[in-house]
Amino acid sequence: MPISFDSEKRIFKLDTKNSSYIMQVFEENYLIHLYYGAYIPDNSVEDLAFRRGNASFSATNETIGEGFFNVDSWPMEYSCNGAGDMRVSALAIRNRWGNSVTDVRYVDYKIFKGKPALEGLPALYTMTEDDATTLEIETVDKVTGAKVFLLYTVFENYGAMTRSVRVENASDAVMDLQRVYSTCVEFPTMDYNMHHLYGAWNKERTLVKRHLEHGIQSIASKRGSSSHNHNPFVCLAKDDATEDFGEAFGFNFVYSGNFAADVEVDFNDTTRLIMGINPIDFCWHLEPGEVFTAPEVVMVYSNEGIGGMSRTFHRLYNNHLIRGEWKNKKRPLLINSWEGCFFDFDDEKMVAFAKNAKELGFELLVMDDGWFGKRNDDTCSLGDWYVNEDKLKGGLSSLVKRVNDLGLEFGIWFEPEMISPDSDLYHAHPDWCLQVPDREKSIGRHQYVLDMSRKDVRDCIYDQMAAVLKGNNITYVKWDFNRNLTQAGSALLPPERQHEVFHRFVLGTYELMGRIVNDFPHILLENCSGGGGRFDPGMLYFSPQIWCSDNTDPMERLTIQFGTSMCYPASCVGAHVSANRRTGYETKGNVAMSGTFGYELDPVKLNDEERRIIKRQVKEYHKYYDLIRTGDLYRLILPTENKHRCAWGYVAQDKSEALFTFVTNLRLMNTTFYVRLKGLDPDKYYIDDETDEIHSGALLMNAGLNLSKHSADCGTSYTIYLKEVKN
């Protein structure tokens, strides 16, 4: 059993194939953390909790007595505010007396097979009961009557677990959740690097690392979405860990709104990480009997370096997060109209796109922004989801039919959570956007944000979208989101619930997205947020692919896609070849191939040479489709570590084939380029598709390849496809 309870020592042990997580019910029912790391068979690690020193005048529990245990320095399983633990706290509840002293202690536990769904929230799921085992620990704050349930689900075969928290107001008075983080993890040392993904529009998810220092280091978003600026992902990698060796602990929050991840190193040189909903602008009012469920954090342990951590995330998300018809179904090769014509199109232009696209071998035409209301630029019409017949003469059905008749599927763009002040919807319902009394609303990209906490708002948007989707043969939807939330108040909520708006907004979006996905299961949904501003596991639960970035320059994309690959699988990374940069189509294709792959250009304008290259890429797309989507990623040379070259590969899970890609970012004159491949089977022999040379996996990984014969000009690239030679 992956989860056990030693009733004598009162120790819980959660095991996966490579990790153990251990905690203990201590004196006075404090839940203390003992160990998280590589698998160990025994549970006698009580000594690890002992801390010699006090931070200063650390207070302690009188019954236990001074001088030994104190909550200020011992490793606490779920840290609370105001009762002696002065480090970052995971939980703070304001009670009927107005103070926020919170002190939950162990009561009981349950262990069961499978994994319960989290109400209203995206979460990892199981296909059979045997996929995972769950531990639910009940704790209570005796004084306030708050019951806090700590949920742990172990995905034994992956080296992964999830954590979330449920709070129930089991008292007869109101209480307010001021902070309720989803996980709290203690480490006995501070010898870690914190890797995380920072960025902005056009440079999302850039990998950076810093060594842990005393004090708090944190990343967060308070923009209303997970954001371009920080992804809800943190990896704590041991000082001596590399891409391929050593310990790495990955944390990824399954949530699409405001988040925070705080890592505190205390005076004892110990480390605590908490991750969850950002407490800034959050407070959840709980009436007696009400329950609040916090989103979950996925925790991955790897003792095969950072690369091993990424591969675990990828497999876990492909199998237990991405859902629906499109989970394993082959996705169509698409062309999106955005960069090819922006708002400047009509039905004839779309049909010309389709004709050319068909000729090149594309399978789906996506008509991006600009088809609805009176929208010819970004200043109007969001909220008016009916077709602009001045632009698309004969209406949408006629266009879809013409495109279908040419042999292509049809996809369409929406931005459901937004409203333009210049729209019929806004004129009819000015109170439907987020706003607070007596203050002007900030405008962003000429638009306001709809109050997604309101059911009437969601119903109206749903009805409009459903009418478009029901009336036409549409098989793909791009769901965009192009501004931050400001003045985040709701006209319907009472003052004591206004701090719930950010979270209610996210729940409302999930509800609407869930409705669309359930009612139109045949539709392939691709999320987007001004590029990759909402690229998170919460969104992945609804859309099996997410547009990675508006930056389609292949050289700059390398950094973005490498960062994204820290925890997100290639199967979900929206990546297109565009016309807008000088780098050749060869490299554009090789880089986009490591994602969902598609095109974003005007195919009518392509010259013969470009058409020839693209036709070859279309063949490669089909050839490598399964390998890239289900294979294991091995990063060979990272763009954040080497400014000259970048290399990576996908290796089939049974090691029978592999595709490696090499890009020169910056020319390095007269150097020998020598590379050792990774991830192959040393005992297998592989044939190079292009040269017919046969080498053992052992040679390719240990002696390596001398690739100096290939061009090393800036922006050039090449691939090596290897297939197992069967005797």
Q: What character string, x for contact with ligand DGJ (CB under 6 A) and - otherwise, covers 346-385?
A: ----------------------xx----------------
SS3 category, 194 = strand
Q: Is 528 a residue that touches ligand DGJ (CB under 6 A)?
A: yes
**Tokens at residue 565, please?**
């690959």
Q: Is 337 a residue that touches ligand DGJ (CB under 6 A)?
A: no
Q: Is 530 a residue that touches ligand DGJ (CB under 6 A)?
A: yes
Please give the residue whose beta carbon sits closest to ligand DGJ in the complex. Answer: 369
> Minimum distance from CB of 483 to ligand DGJ (Å)?
11
246 backbone dihedrals φ, ψ, rounded to 5°? 95, 180
> Minimum distance from CB of 482 to ligand DGJ (Å)?
6
Amino acid at site 201: W
SS3 category, 645 = strand
> Minimum distance from CB of 167 to ligand DGJ (Å)?
37
SS3 readout for 321-347: CCCCCCCCCCCCCEEECHHHHCCCCCH
The smaller minimum CB distance to ligand DGJ, of residues 135 and 341, is found at 341
Catalytic residue among 480, 553, 602, 632: 480
324, 531, 538, 554: residue in contact with ligand DGJ (rule CB under 6 A)? 531
Residue located via tokens 């879809």: 400
The smaller minimum CB distance to ligand DGJ, of residues 411 and 563, is found at 411
The smaller minimum CB distance to ligand DGJ, of residues 296 and 368, is found at 368
Residue located via tokens 């689900």: 153
Angle 190-193-195 from CA coordinates, rounded to 5°: 140
Separate counts of helices (H) and strands (E) for the chain: 12, 39
Whole-angstrom Cα distance, residue 251 to residue 162? 9
> Minimum distance from CB of 152 to ligand DGJ (Å)?
37
The smaller minimum CB distance to ligand DGJ, of residues 141 and 422, is found at 422
> Minimum distance from CB of 370 to ligand DGJ (Å)?
8
Contact 212, 263 (CB under 8 A): yes
Catalytic residue among 103, 369, 451, 550: 550
From residue 349, give the alpha-carbon distance in Å to each of 88, 355, 414, 602.
57, 10, 20, 10
Active site residue 347: no
**Tokens at residue 409, please?**
């599927």
Q: Is 547 a residue that touches ligand DGJ (CB under 6 A)?
A: yes
559 backbone dihedrals φ, ψ, rounded to 5°? -65, -40
291: enclosing H helix or E strand:
strand 291-293
> Minimum distance from CB of 338 to ligand DGJ (Å)?
5
Q: What character string, x for contact with ligand DGJ (CB under 6 A) and - otherwise, covers 287-326?
A: ----------------------------------------
118 backbone dihedrals φ, ψ, rounded to 5°? -105, 120
Contact 74, 146 (CB under 8 A): no
Stretch binding ligand DGJ (CB under 6 A), from 147-155, 216-224, 483-491, 524-532: 524-532
Active site residue 550: yes
Stretch binding ligand DGJ (CB under 6 A), from 103-111, 232-240, 526-534, 626-634: 526-534
The smaller minimum CB distance to ligand DGJ, of residues 224 and 530, is found at 530
> Minimum distance from CB of 531 to ligand DGJ (Å)?
5
Number of residues lying near ligand DGJ (CB under 6 A): 11
Closest CA to 483 of 539, 436, 534, 544: 534
Whole-angstrom Cα distance, residue 340 to residue 99? 58
Residue located via tokens 């003052």: 495
The smaller minimum CB distance to ligand DGJ, of residues 194 and 546, is found at 546
Residues 478-497 that bind ligand DGJ (CB under 6 A): 480, 482
Give the distance, in angstroms, between the CA of residue 144 and the centroid of all CA atoms in the same chain: 36
The smaller minimum CB distance to ligand DGJ, of residues 416 and 530, is found at 530
Amino acid at site 28: E
The smaller minimum CB distance to ligand DGJ, of residues 139 and 482, is found at 482
The smaller minimum CB distance to ligand DGJ, of residues 410 and 624, is found at 410
> Minimum distance from CB of 343 to ligand DGJ (Å)?
8
Contact 20, 37 (CB under 8 A): yes
Stretch binding ligand DGJ (CB under 6 A), from 12-20, 247-255, 401-409, 528-536: 528-536
Give the distance, in angstroms, between the CA of residue 244 and the centroid of all CA atoms in the same chain: 22
Amino acid at site 712: A
Q: Is 414 a residue that touches ligand DGJ (CB under 6 A)?
A: no
77, 204, 550, 556: residue in contact with ligand DGJ (rule CB under 6 A)? 550
Report the DSSP beta bridge partners of residue 289: none
Q: Is 85 a residue that touches ligand DGJ (CB under 6 A)?
A: no
Amino acid at site 54: N
Whole-angstrom Cα distance, residue 562 to residue 506? 27
253 burial (CB, 10 Å; 0-12 / 13-18 / 19+) is: buried
Angle 709-552-570 from CA coordinates, rounded to 5°: 75
The smaller minimum CB distance to ligand DGJ, of residues 531 and 603, is found at 531
Closest CA to 515 of 481, 469, 568: 469
Stretch binding ligand DGJ (CB under 6 A), from 43-51, 273-281, 525-533, 624-632: 525-533
> Minimum distance from CB of 4 to ligand DGJ (Å)?
48
> Minimum distance from CB of 415 to ligand DGJ (Å)?
7
The smaller minimum CB distance to ligand DGJ, of residues 154 and 528, is found at 528
> Minimum distance from CB of 644 to ligand DGJ (Å)?
30
Whole-angstrom Cα distance, residue 154 to residue 299? 10
Q: Is 432 a residue that touches ligand DGJ (CB under 6 A)?
A: no
Angle 252-312-509 from CA coordinates, rounded to 5°: 35
Contact residues toward ligand DGJ (CB under 6 A) are 338, 368-369, 413, 480, 482, 528, 530-531, 547, 550
Q: Which residues are catalytic?
A: 480, 550
